[in-house]
Amino acid sequence: MTGSSEQSSLRWAERIANLLSSGPAVGAALAVALFAIGTLSLDKLSYLGHASDELRRLAIRVYGPQVAVEALRILAIYVAIGLVGGLLSSGLCTLRDLLRGRRPSSRLWRIGRHLILIGGLHAYFLGRAMVVHPQLFADAFYAKGGVRRDLQVILTDWVPPGLWDALLALALGLFVLLPARRFIGKLRAPRGLGPRALIGGGAALGLLVLAVGAASLSTAPRRAKENEGPNIVILAIDSLRADRLEDARYERVAPRMRRLSRQGVRFQSAYGTLARTFPSWVTLLTGREPHDHGIRHMFPSWEARRRAGLALPRHLANAGYRTAVVSDYAGEIFGRIDLGFHHVDVSSFSFYEIVRQRVISAHTHLLPYLATGPGRRLAPPMSGLPENADPLLLAERVKEMVDRVSRGKRFFLVAFFSSAHFPYAAPYPHYQRFTDRSYRGPYRYHKQRLLHEGPPSRADIDHMRGLYDGAVLAADEAIGRVLDHLERIGVAKNTIVVLTADHGENLYEPGLGMGHGDHLRGDSATRLPLVLFDPRQKRRGRILEGITRDVDLAPTLAALVGHPLTKVSGRDLGPQMAGQPGPEDRAAFMETGLWFTEDLPEVGEDMRLSYPPVLGGLVNMDEKRNGDLVLSPQYEELVVAAKHRAIRTKDWTLVYVPLRAGVRTMLYDMRQDPLCQRDVSALHPEMTQRLARRLMGWMREERGSLQVGSYVLPGKSGGEP
């Protein structure tokens, strides 16, 4: 009995040893080690590029248990990937052993070759992803300097994705097929390799073949036979400057969008009221002023969101349309307000999501798998990472949504691409298209915000502009894919297409800085690209010069499809598109957003009423709504009162700047000074007074507003008019 027990124990020990030396076990162990490395690298949290130790402590205090659950979820993903890698390694090793006719007797060598294979496969995915999405890995490599920086630069400059694929195929082929030279024609089951191992290895290889086959299959798109139209598709790019559709220098930057603008009607002088994403989209889709619908900044209260009023998606949904919006990280605003969309496929935003994103982004070795389309579905916070805004992946989601909503008679869809928004994180090869590869500054792959950063050099500015143009080109290609899909499924002839943006972007023009919404000088951030293509109209390929506004879009689209909107601030542009002249003296009115920090060189302390920064008490975390960020109520009136306002006419811009010592009014001659560098109010007092009266009249339209001397104090905004 004793001998039998010893033999049984030895057999069990052998089985356990074989299990621990198998590919899946080695893969799982390696995955756990990589998880531990990533967890140790998690140090601090940030929002919009602003880091805060207080934010980290708050996250631990409020979301400690959730962070632990998130860590376990990430560990599970690691282990699953390790198991799959281990299965592939087992299959490859089994095939090699089959060709050699024997299995290595050394268990240590069997473990070692699994480590080599799994590590090699992981190195392939990591290196390839570092080339395709270098922004995701810049903090762990380029920003560290030294060998790590050199490694990432070499990979992104000299090892394109296709070469990675070829190297992988060559390495795996050599590993498996080299033994065939001696044993070809002598295939037999290798010694020490039982039927179960053969079956397991064959199954692993079968999974690999199926995965490759599934990835290569493409099905013909279903034609939307039921759809009658007229449909509406709004294709928008965050921070897209209007000059990219106009200036001949940018023909290579936006070829598909420029082609669409030549086919449709382009509005040369379209202006947004508030150059920040949340209020801008509410204005675009309601046709009402921000002081009317009540969304005045990026962190509105839930009460303000409920009182925003009727938006075009709900209006058309009531008329029988299927409505949808699809977006990546900047489109999270559509998940924070109900505008009447039936389908909302956007990223999430809350304090908790910021925590989840930071936890995931710390795991550098997991990012190659999560930066893909399937990976984003597995880990939704990836869609909210600004460094992972891949418009081509978003285009696939848009196409899927088009297929879904076009099954009805008519649909309204918004596709909002974030790639051109800060930090201009374009995927391969677009981040290289317009940049100098010799550049080694801090913004090599994207324009991240750096703590205590000084003024950028000329090389920095040129490089950032190149990154921006690459991001626009990536979105341009994605938009082309969506337009082609509309043709393939047969709805293009019934679909009105709008090409626009929520706002433009300053790109370090003299005195204007970078970004949008902080000031109202120049037109780069306030002027919108606006193209409207209606396939039913014969008058196409025209440019309309008169001033139009973001509030005009919703009433125009509603009228074009026969469901007019009432109670709007904008006007229907249909008559102007049909050839009728627009009003000669129309003006655009604008206001700034809130200032996220106190260190804005373009809006110094002498040019603003101050309040705390976003991470310094300006916003609160709503724990009842999973950490949604809302403006602290005690700052609401101050934030609105501190706004700069402006009126833009054909030739002039007048800016209202409230200060503690009084209101400063600046007048700029846009014909002679388009960058607004010289205040000429003293030279043109009559024009200054005339425009100031018009601007004050617009500001006083806000219900409950009060004029005290030259100040206009805010009233109660929002709700149905």
Q: For the segment 640-686, what is each residue's pLDDT rounded down to a tens digit?
A: 999 999 999 999 999 999 999 999 999 999 999 999 999 999 999 99
In one-letter notation, the amino acid at residue 240 is L
Cα(224)–Cα(187) distance, rounded to whole angstroms? 53
- 489: tokens are 């499924």
Cα(86)–Cα(113) distance, rounded to whole angstroms? 11
Angle between helices 195-216 and 53-100 (to 10 degrees): 120
The predicted structure's pLDDT at residue 145: 94
Q: Which tops the pLDDT comparison, 114 or 20?
A: 114
Question: Residue 200: pLDDT above 80?
Answer: no
Kindly give, in sequence order, each residue whose CB lies less than 8 Å from that of residue 52, ignoring residues fewer than 6 positions away: 44, 45, 46, 615
The predicted structure's pLDDT at residue 384: 87
The predicted structure's pLDDT at residue 633: 93
The region of weakest confidence among 48-52, 205-209, 260-264, 370-374 is: 48-52
**DSSP-H helix ranges across 585-668:** 636-641
Q: What is the pLDDT of residues 565-577, one digit of tens each?
A: 999 999 999 999 9
Question: Residue 467: pLDDT above 80?
Answer: yes
Question: Residue 199: pLDDT above 60?
Answer: no
Within 13 A of 523's CA, how many CA atoms are on the CB side? 23
Q: What is the pLDDT of residues 450-461, one digit of tens each?
A: 655 678 999 999
Cα(444)–Cα(635) distance, rounded to whole angstroms? 38
The predicted structure's pLDDT at residue 510: 95
The predicted structure's pLDDT at residue 616: 80
The region of weakest confidence among 36-45, 388-397, 412-421 is: 36-45
Q: What is the mean pLDDT of residues 201-230?
A: 61
Q: Which tops the pLDDT comparison, 719 or 279?
A: 279
The predicted structure's pLDDT at residue 614: 86
Cα(217)–Cα(227) distance, rounded to whole angstroms? 27
Which residues make beta-bridge pairs with 617? none
- DSSP-derived secondary structure letter, 580: P
Q: What is the pLDDT of residues 367-408, one digit of tens each?
A: 999 998 888 888 888 888 999 889 999 999 999 999 999 998
The predicted structure's pLDDT at residue 584: 79
The predicted structure's pLDDT at residue 628: 86
- Give ∠ CA 454-456-462 in degrees, rounded to 5: 170
Kindly give, in sequence order, each residue whose CB lies less than 8 Å from that of residue 640, ignoring residues fewer than 6 positions away: 296, 714, 717
The predicted structure's pLDDT at residue 220: 54
Nearest to 411 by CA among 239, 231, 542: 231
Query: Given pLDDT bands bounded at 50, 70 and 90, which one contains residue 7?
Result: low
- 479: tokens are 């938009």
Q: What is the pLDDT of residues 50-68, one digit of tens each?
A: 455 555 566 666 667 777 8
The predicted structure's pLDDT at residue 621: 81
The region of weakest confidence among 143-147, 374-378, 447-451 is: 447-451
The predicted structure's pLDDT at residue 10: 62
Kindly give, in sequence order, each residue whose CB lies less than 8 Å from that of residue 46, ignoring residues fewer than 6 positions away: 52, 55, 358
Nearest to 41 by CA among 66, 63, 74, 77: 74
- 369: tokens are 């798998």
Q: Which tops the pLDDT comparison, 182 or 704?
A: 704
The region of weakest confidence among 308-317, 544-553, 619-628 is: 619-628
Cα(293)–Cα(307) distance, rounded to whole angstroms? 7
Within 13 A of 700's CA, how many CA atoms are on the CB side? 12
Q: Kind and range of the H or E element at 652? A: strand 652-659
Asked whether the beta carbons of 495 and 535 are under 8 A apart, the reply is yes
The predicted structure's pLDDT at residue 215: 46
The predicted structure's pLDDT at residue 55: 56
Q: What is the pLDDT of residues 497-532, one digit of tens each?
A: 999 999 999 999 999 999 999 999 999 999 999 999
The predicted structure's pLDDT at residue 13: 61
Question: Residue 48: pLDDT above 60?
Answer: no
Cα(708)–Cα(696) distance, rounded to whole angstroms? 11
- Give ∠ CA 351-132-502 in degrees, rounded to 5: 50
Question: Residue 219: pLDDT above 80?
Answer: no
- CA distances to 175, 271, 541, 556, 572 from 578, rounded to whole Å, are 68, 21, 12, 12, 11
The predicted structure's pLDDT at residue 100: 77
Question: Residue 218: pLDDT above 50?
Answer: no
Question: Residue 236: pLDDT above 50?
Answer: yes
Average pLDDT, the chain: 88
Kindly give, in sequence order, each residue whose CB lies less than 8 Å from that of residue 630, ignoring residues fewer than 6 positions away: 299, 300, 301, 302, 619, 620, 622
Asked whether the beta carbons of 591 and 647 are under 8 A apart, the reply is no
Question: Residue 216: pLDDT above 50?
Answer: no
SS3 sequence of 626-646: CCEEEECHHHHHHHHHCCCEE
The predicted structure's pLDDT at residue 717: 62
What percent of the chain stands above pLDDT 90? 67
Cα(70)–Cα(512) distance, rounded to whole angstroms? 41
The predicted structure's pLDDT at residue 217: 46
The predicted structure's pLDDT at residue 344: 97
Cα(224)–Cα(136) distance, rounded to whole angstroms? 38
Q: Is 55 exposed, middle or buried (0-12, 13-18, 19+ CB in 10 A)?
A: buried
